[in-house]
A = this chain, B = another copy of it.
């Protein structure tokens, strides 16, 4: 009887020891999905507009000092939008990017992904980091969010899929841990 009880306790203790490991919880809770970011720089309705620069920016081959405000469509496919509202739009990327590198196109990204349709409608992700746009894969941090993503952490990986006339399309793969509430 005592031995049986002890075995039960051993199992309970083992369970107690295994349950609350934060790292595995984090690994398990990560959600992964893709969105396509459309930076429309030209045409009738650009979604990315330059708002500031230094006097020296005009002489910089990397646009050092230029700051751009964006309200860029996020869609589920890479098809160019021409800034028109597409049927596969799931949100907008809103914020700024600043050319902050004298040697290459290295941007400081400050933006929210604001979801208006799909699984994450009504939620947002807050993104911050460096975007070296000529690299194949760039990573930025997810530092917060709202709705389903309140107190989320994670990262995004960006790859340019099309750099056409006036519209740059970038695939963003999102890795987000909405359970990271600690």
- Partner-B contacts on A (CB < 8 A): 1-3, 5-6, 9-10, 12-17, 19-23, 25-26, 46-47, 49-57, 64-67, 69-71, 92, 94-96, 98-103, 106, 108, 110-112, 114, 124, 126, 128-130, 139-146, 150-151, 153-155, 177, 179-182
Contact = CB atoms under 8 A, between A and B. Distances in A.
Contact of A49 (B19, B54, B110): B54
A147 to B, nearest CB: 8
Contact of A96 (B9, B100, B111, B146): B100
17 contacts: A1-B3, A5-B6, A10-B12, A19-B21, A23-B182, A49-B54, A49-B64, A51-B57, A51-B65, A67-B69, A71-B103, A124-B130, A126-B141, A128-B144, A141-B150, A143-B143, A153-B182
Nearest to A47: B102
